[in-house]
Amino acid sequence: MSETMVKAEEVHKRFGQLEVLKGISLEVAPGEVMCLLGPSGSGKSTLLRCVNHLEKIHRGRIWVDGELVGYREDGGKLYELPESEITQHRAEVGMVFQRFNLFPHMTAIQNVIEAPIRVKKRPKREAIASGRELLQRVGLADKVDEYPARLSGGQQQRVAIARALAMEPKLMLFDEVTSALDPELVKEVLDVMRDLARLGMTMIVVTHEIGFARDVADQVVFMDEGVVVEEGAPSQVLDNPHEERTKRFLGLVLEH
Amino acid sequence: MATPTRTADEITRTEPPDEIQAVPVRHPGRWIAAAVVAVLIVALAHSVATNPRFEWGVVGDYLFSSRILKGLVVTIELTVVAMAIGIILGVVLALMRMSESALLSGASWVYIWLLRGTPVLVQILFWNFIAALYPTVGLGIPFGPSFIHLDANSLITPFVAAMLALGLNEGAYMSEIVRAGIISVEEGQTDAAQALGMARLQTMRRVVLPQAMRAIIPPTGYETISMLKTTSLVAFIGLADLLYSAQLIYSVNYKTIPLLITASIWYLAVTSVLSVGQYYIERHYGRGRAREAEPTLLERLRAGLFPRHADVKPLPEPPKMPEDHR
Ligand SMILES: Nc1ncnc2c1ncn2[C@@H]1O[C@H](COP(=O)(O)OP(=O)(O)OP(=O)(O)O)[C@@H](O)[C@H]1O
Ligand SMILES: [Mg+2]
């Protein structure tokens, strides 16, 4: 394993004329949890999507576990990777979305085993066995054969986490995974994430749950308008922010 | 006067309220309209049954005659093959249209523009007379040697011409239906599949298309039914489908009306069967969406025929409390 799990260096990303990331540099060590905070539109989702190459970056470099994301560098030149290598990279990085994005035409277990069977070519029986185990681990042993439409938001999000874990990723990306949930369902999802962190999973978590960040994060990064405004230990960024923008944002979030 | 508050004990003892037996509201307008329609139906039925020129006996004679049945088979074959070509071509054209390559999407756009912009009858005639344009058809390397030479006149029979014209034309319409279906699937679905490491084709086949089907199937059903009827245009190139077979018969015996009725009965029968099939296919692709499984067609029919029994549900039972909670 490389010494840094994720390393971003001067990452720039544009959508048309709009520059969304303006030189982001980050490092996440293996087993570390990084919480990413910032106002709406600051580029948090975009940054996560760049890490597994769902979006292409325009400048800078991102490495995951020592490997350059999306490109091969040879003699000072960059070569785009073919699809087969990009998918292989993505298969090693789990991602969970704000709106769950479960496959609605598949049951919980079918959602979980789809990628292990299609991408990793695991035998179906084996995939089902470990898929059941994962669903049990997120507390859904009795919902294995249920379609997503018949599950609560919290249950759907836990299936989505199990689906990502089924690929045995070395890094997990969480994009505001509790923002679409009713308040009473937030805890069951955060608990699953706490467990994961305790078991040593490397995670980048975009969240507005300050309490969670304070408890679980090793590092907190505050972003605004495509730049990192402040970063450091949770006690420093959350409780003693230096920057005016950080203070203002935390004031707004903690009001709720 | 203040109403006395009831104790929990009293509440548990009360009987559930009686089922509602209200007198329904009258709708005089609806009754008048229904009466008018009923009179019209009776008058029409009377005339159809008693007007001798319908010649129902002749209809009965020809309904299962071998020439009509052979025509029916041609019509069905043509519908099935043309729709198969149309659907496959439609998927290909839709994927081309959404491709990042300007050449692919441009080619698809031109194809659709050309085939949707000209009458299908013209296209049928074109294919029928294709031999005038390309007397021989060869298989080989473009601008290089060719290996197989075929005479277009013998290769493009009227059936093949009709099949190609209808299928290629249908492809243009189907591509728009498929494209609309694919666009209707949330982008988050593609994100999730790709984040799991699924390749683009896998994502399309396993995640996007099955969901797009929900939007694709209903219009495809209408296209199939409309195709069944459009095949009757092949009479213009002398292909003995259902309609042309009927025409061939009445051109000799002059029983025009009964033979047109015979053909219509068969068209109606096949479209009815297609509609039922469509219903079940839609049900299949709706799985996982509706919170309750949808009723089958029979259950629906029953509910439609006896709406009172289906609609008026008894009031829900009041929650039961344990009798001996003390
Ligand atoms: N596919 C896209 N095309 C064009 N603009 C985009 C696209 N995706 C994001 N953007 C823009 O990029 C900016 C950053 O978006 P992003 O989703 O990364 O913000 P965010 O920090 O995740 O915000 P939120 O908290 O609302 O999720 C926004 O201005 C957004 O409108
Ligand atoms: Mg976001």
| HEC per residue, A102-169 | CCCCCCHHHHHHHHHHHCCCCCHHHHHHHHHHHHHHCCCHHHCCCCHHHCCHHHHHHHHHHHHHCCCC
The mean of the pLDDT values for chain A is 94
Segment B34-41 mean pLDDT: 95
- Asked if A15 and A202 count as a contact pair (C-beta separation under 8 A), the reply is no
Helices B66-97 and B209-230 cross at an angle (nearest 10°) of 140
- Asked if B130 and B210 count as a contact pair (C-beta separation under 8 A), the reply is no
Give percent of chain A above pLDDT 90: 93
Contact of B186 with chain A, judged by CB distance below 8 Å, is answered with: yes
Higher local confidence (pLDDT), B290 or B59: B59
Q: Cβ(A41) to ligand 1 under 6 A?
A: yes
Residue B225 pLDDT: 94
User: CB atoms < 10 A from the CB of B80, how many?
Assistant: 14
Nearest to A114 among B186, B206, B211 (CB): B206
**Residue B198 φ/ψ region, left for φ over 0, alpha for ψ in the -120 to 50 degree band, beta for the rest:** beta
Q: Please give the residue of chain B at the shortest CA–CA distance from A85.
A: B197
Residues of chain B in contact with residue A97, where contact means CB-CB under 8 angstroms, are 188, 191-192
User: Is residue B72 over pLDDT 60?
Assistant: yes
A224 CB contacts (<8 Å, ≥6 apart)?
A38, A39, A42, A245, A249
Ligand 2 centroid – CA A114 distance (Å) = 26
Q: Does the ipTM surpass 0.90?
A: yes
Amino acid in the structure at residue B305: L
Range in A129-143, A179-193, B37-51, B291-305 the model is least confident about = B291-305
Quick: pLDDT tens for A35-48: 999 999 999 999 99
Confidence of residue A3 (pLDDT cuts 50, 70, 90): confident
Handedness of CA A182, A188, A194, A199 (dihedral sign): negative
The atom of ligand 1 lying closest to the CA of A223 is 21
- Asked if A79 and A72 count as a contact pair (C-beta separation under 8 A), the reply is yes
Q: Please give the residue of chain A at the shortest CA–CA distance from B202.
A: A118
User: Is residue B75 over pLDDT 90?
Assistant: yes
The atom of ligand 1 lying closest to the CA of A42 is 21
B49/chain A closest Cα distance in angstroms: 51
User: Is residue B311 over pLDDT 50?
Assistant: no
Segment A235-256 mean pLDDT: 88
| Three-class SS state of A248 | helix
User: Is residue B102 over pLDDT 60?
Assistant: yes
Confidence of residue B324 (pLDDT cuts 50, 70, 90): very low
Segment A87-96 mean pLDDT: 96
Beta carbons of A97 and B189 less than 8 Å apart: no
Confidence of residue B241 (pLDDT cuts 50, 70, 90): very high
Residue indicated by tokens 């469509």: B278
Ligand 2 centroid – CA B51 distance (Å) = 73
B179/chain A closest Cα distance in angstroms: 19
B214/chain A closest Cα distance in angstroms: 10
Looking at all shown ligands, the one closest to residue A46's CA atom is 1
Length of chain A: 256
Q: Cβ(A66) to ligand 1 under 6 A?
A: no
Which tokens sit at A101? Answer: 């994005």
Best residue among A17, A20, A48, A176 to mutate for probing ligand 1's pocket (most ligand atoms within 8 Å of CB) is A20
Alpha carbon nearest to ligand 1 atom 26, residue: A40
Nearest to B199 among A83, A94, A147 (CB): A83
Q: Could you tell me the pTM of the whole model?
A: 0.79
Which tokens sit at A141? Answer: 């042993």
User: Is residue B215 over pLDDT 60?
Assistant: yes
Q: How far apart are CA A35 and CA A216, in angstroms?
A: 9
Q: Cβ(A178) to ligand 1 under 6 A?
A: no
Contact of B286 with chain A, judged by CB distance below 8 Å, is answered with: no
Residues of chain A in contact with residue B283, where contact means CB-CB under 8 angstroms, are none
Q: How far apart are CA B195 and CA A119, in angstroms?
A: 11
Confidence of residue B55 (pLDDT cuts 50, 70, 90): confident
User: Is residue B118 over pLDDT 50?
Assistant: yes
Strands A203-206 and A171-175: parallel
Residue B308 pLDDT: 45
B272/chain A closest Cα distance in angstroms: 28
Range in A17-21, A238-242, B85-89, B284-288 the model is least confident about = B284-288
| Three-class SS state of A170 | coil
CB interface of A with B, residues 40-69, below 8 Å: 49, 52, 54
Name the phi and psi angles at B204, rounded to 5.
Answer: -65, -50
| Three-class SS state of A9 | strand
Beta carbons of B197 and A150 less than 8 Å apart: no
Contact of B13 with chain A, judged by CB distance below 8 Å, is answered with: no
Q: How far is CA B300 from CA A26, B269, B295, B304, B306, in A?
A: 60, 20, 6, 6, 10
Segment B248-259 mean pLDDT: 92
Segment B155-168 mean pLDDT: 92
Q: How far is CA A67 from CA A50, A57, B185, in A?
A: 14, 15, 33
Q: How far is CA B266 from CA A79, A110, B48, B230, B273, in A?
A: 62, 43, 18, 14, 11
Range in A194-203, B131-140, B206-215 the model is least confident about = B131-140
**Residue B97 φ/ψ region, left for φ over 0, alpha for ψ in the -120 to 50 degree band, beta for the rest:** alpha
A28/chain B closest Cα distance in angstroms: 20
Segment B195-214 mean pLDDT: 94
Q: Cβ(A40) to ligand 1 under 6 A?
A: yes
Residue B302 pLDDT: 63
Segment B173-177 mean pLDDT: 95
- Asked if A214 and A194 count as a contact pair (C-beta separation under 8 A), the reply is no
Fold of B53-286: MetI-like fold (1.10.3720)
The dihedral over CA atoms of B228, B232, B237, B238, expressed in degrees to the nearest 10, equals 110
Q: Tell me the residues surrounding ligand 2 (ion) with CB < 5 Å.
A: A 45
Domain residue spans in chain B?
A: 53-286
Test mutation, A55, A83, A100, A101, chain B, max B CBs within 10 A: A101
Segment B233-260 mean pLDDT: 93
Contact of A84 with chain B, judged by CB distance below 8 Å, is answered with: yes
Give percent of chain B above pLDDT 90: 59
Range in A57-61, B120-124, B298-302 the model is least confident about = B298-302
Quick: pLDDT tens for A112-167: 999 999 999 999 999 999 999 999 999 999 999 999 999 999 999 999 999 999 99
**Residue A70 φ/ψ region, left for φ over 0, alpha for ψ in the -120 to 50 degree band, beta for the rest:** left
Contact of B202 with chain A, judged by CB distance below 8 Å, is answered with: yes
Report, in angstroms and rounded to the nearest whole number, the Rg of chain A calculated over CA atoms.
18
Which tokens sit at B226? Answer: 């409309």
Segment B29-57 mean pLDDT: 90
Residues of chain B in contact with residue A148, where contact means CB-CB under 8 angstroms, are 288
Quick: pLDDT tens for A45-55: 999 999 999 99
Test mutation, B189, B194, B196, B213, chain A, max A CBs within 10 A: B196
Q: Please give the residue of chain B at the shortest CA–CA distance from A160.
A: B192
